[in-house]
Amino acid sequence: MSTYVALLRGVNVAGNNKLPMADLRAHFETLGFDNVRTLIQSGNVVFETPHTPTSQKIETSIEDRFAITTSIALRTPNELQRVVAQVPATMTEVGGLYVGFFTTRPASVDVVHLDHERFLPEQFSVSGHEIYMHLPDGMGQSKLPDYLNRRLKVPITFRNWNTVNRMLAISMSSEPDPLPDVS
């Protein structure tokens, strides 16, 4: 059995695409996944399977079952470990630190043409299939995530640093998260 983390984009955000986590867990189980666990209400699912899952199959099943169109970034615990270990040195202040998970790697030409000065003091750094952002005033009022979504032309789902670390801990353990979500 291998463990995977599914990060759903745009679920339970600002009252849109409402999806109770208990229903999402049950749905993942109907797809044949084992030891399904969720964290908070934003569509974070850890599951086990002997097969290699595809985000497209899970996305289609969620749309068919819940009438919600979402993009999913799939990661392994080792990939999450790498994300945590490779945080840019300029972004070591945990407050305001976010990671954007790409569903597919953005084109190099789009990454090169990003304007790093436009949103200062906010910062960002693209690293492979992720983008690190330091947003000193938080995600709520920032225009940077929208800019990145438009310019990079691939779906991105964002998580704060605490959530990334909790997802890593849950994915490395077979035990449920000690802080259950509220469904």
CATH code of the domain covering residue 137: 3.30.70
Q: Residue 109: inside a domain, yes or no?
A: yes
CATH code (residue 12): 3.30.70.1280
Q: Residue 182: inside a domain, yes or no?
A: no
Same domain, 51 and 115: no
73 forms beta bridges with: 7
The predicted pLDDT at position 11 comes to 75
Sorting pLDDT into bands at 50, 70 and 90, what band is 174?
low
Residue with token string 């990060």: 7
Asked if residue 180 has pLDDT above 90, the reply is no
If one counts the domains in the chain, the total is 2
pTM: 0.89
The predicted pLDDT at position 19 comes to 81
The token duo for 30 is: 């109907």
Q: Residue 177: inside a domain, yes or no?
A: no
Same domain, 121 and 62: no
Q: Residue 100: inside a domain, yes or no?
A: yes
Same domain, 145 and 107: yes
- State how far the alpha carbon of 100 is from the alpha carbons of 13, 61, 125, 141, 182, in Å: 15, 23, 10, 16, 24
Q: Compare 94 and 69 and report the one with higher pLDDT.
A: 69
The predicted pLDDT at position 95 comes to 82
Domain that holds residue 64: 2-78+165-171
For residues 127-142, give the mean pLDDT. Answer: 92
Same domain, 12 and 28: yes
